[in-house]
Amino acid sequence: MISFISLAILISPVLAYSRSDVVCIYQLSGQYAPLQRALFYLLLAFGVLGRRQRWLVAGALASAMTYGGAAALHSILLLAEAPSSVVDLDIYGVFAITSTGLMLTAPLLAWSTTLRSMKKEIRMLVLLWAILIFLGAVFATAAIYIKGSVQATSCISSLDAIPSGAPTLESVSGNCTYVCFPENHPLFRSPGDIQPWENKLDDPRAITGMFVPTIAASIPSAIITWIWSSRQGRAYDYTRLPTPLNRLELGWIGDRLFAKQQHNRGSFSPESPVQVHRHPKLWRVFQYYVIIGSFGVFVVNIVLNEVRLRPLPTDEMPYAVGQWSPWVAVGLIVLAQVLSQLMKKIWPQGSQEQEEKPHVLIRHTDEGAIWTEMNNVNSAMRAFRREAPGFRRRNSF
């Protein structure tokens, strides 16, 4: 595949390239710290593979989409500030989020049972979100190329020329000192946040070298899918999982964990109609191409981005409350779902009675309506009987 060949070619220069000059930077914000990025990857993957408990999948998708959408909008502001001589490391965090989210958009639209069960308007909103993510990745790529030409900060030999309070970094040789002068009115940054940093960033071509071939490899599959969906309608889903890969979905974990004998009434398992293809082998190859290619570039892009972002300094450490508290919130939601399933298993009688109550109410309501209708019929028959004798007398001979 085009994307995998490009990856093999690009891995070595990405890992080997480094620079030794010193630049002035703003640290990576806590919004794009490693724990936040890992949570985004996890929620997005769960939104694709999750099959049961639609409210959990919908919550994961909503959280991942809002996070990715905010990063895409942030890329516009970062591109506006790109000509500045100070490198804002948020650019690289935004690119990691938007590029990775874009690579999983096609599987999200094709395999997420939660999205497939929703109305067309909801799916259109997800498509608009994908366009926003794409634009964010493009803007972040442009900003990375602009920042790639930023000159190193000056190294001053005389300490008297350095203003007081300016952040400094002594050179390795000790002959001079690197100094960064605060900017006037930086965008969403405090003037004191600037600091000199030994440049460990990769070359822009190495950072974004995977993005372009991946998008180029996705265009043919997107065109084929769009043509066949427009010709055959939504019922013919040529991008769904092949039968041998159905176990990739996560619904079977709950079945094994709670030993379910039957699916819950609230769970959804869409049954797609039997599809008859003129070239079944060709479409099977196409399905494997989309699946393996999408998830392959998704995983490899995560690995390469995390390798690049590892040396970047962040303004929040992993033990900060803002870093681990979102993980605790997600864990509490999952714990609530597990406890709910365990309670249904321990007290199945109560849950069954609650499920039957609405049916009983409906039955009583129907009986009341039928009883009222029968009373109306009886009243009409009694009135007809009272009028019938007079009618016979008037028409008798």
> Each residue of 307-348: pLDDT tens digit?
888 889 998 888 989 899 999 998 898 888 888 878 888 887
Report CA-CA distances (Å) from 289 to 104, 241, 303, 380: 14, 11, 21, 71
Two tokens at 47?
């939104």
Tell me the pLDDT band of 38, cut-offs 50, 70 and 90. Answer: very high
Q: b vs e for 258-286, b when ≥16 Cβ sit within 10 Å of the residue's Cβ?
A: eebeeeeeeebeeeeeeeeeeeeeebeeb
Beta bridge partners of 92: none
Q: Collapse the DSSP code of 19 into the 3-class scheme (helix H, G, I; strand E, B; otherwise coil) and give the result.
A: coil
Q: Which residue has the higher pLDDT, 112 or 376?
A: 112
Statement: the pTM of the whole predicted model exceeds 0.75: no
Can you tell me the mean pLDDT for 22-51?
89
* pLDDT value for 336: 86
Residue pair 133/105 in contact (Cβ under 8 Å)? The answer is yes
- Report which residue type is found at 55: W
pLDDT bucket at 265, cuts 50 / 70 / 90: very low
- If phi > 0 it is left, if psi is from -120 to 50 it is alpha, else beta; for residue 174 that is left
Average the pLDDT over 29-41 and give the result.
93
Mean of per-residue pLDDT scores for the chain = 72
Where do the structural domains in the chain lie, given as residue ranges? 2-17+29-150+204-346, 153-198, 349-397
Predicted confidence at residue 376, as pLDDT, reads: 56
Q: What kind and span of H or E run contains 198?
A: strand 195-198
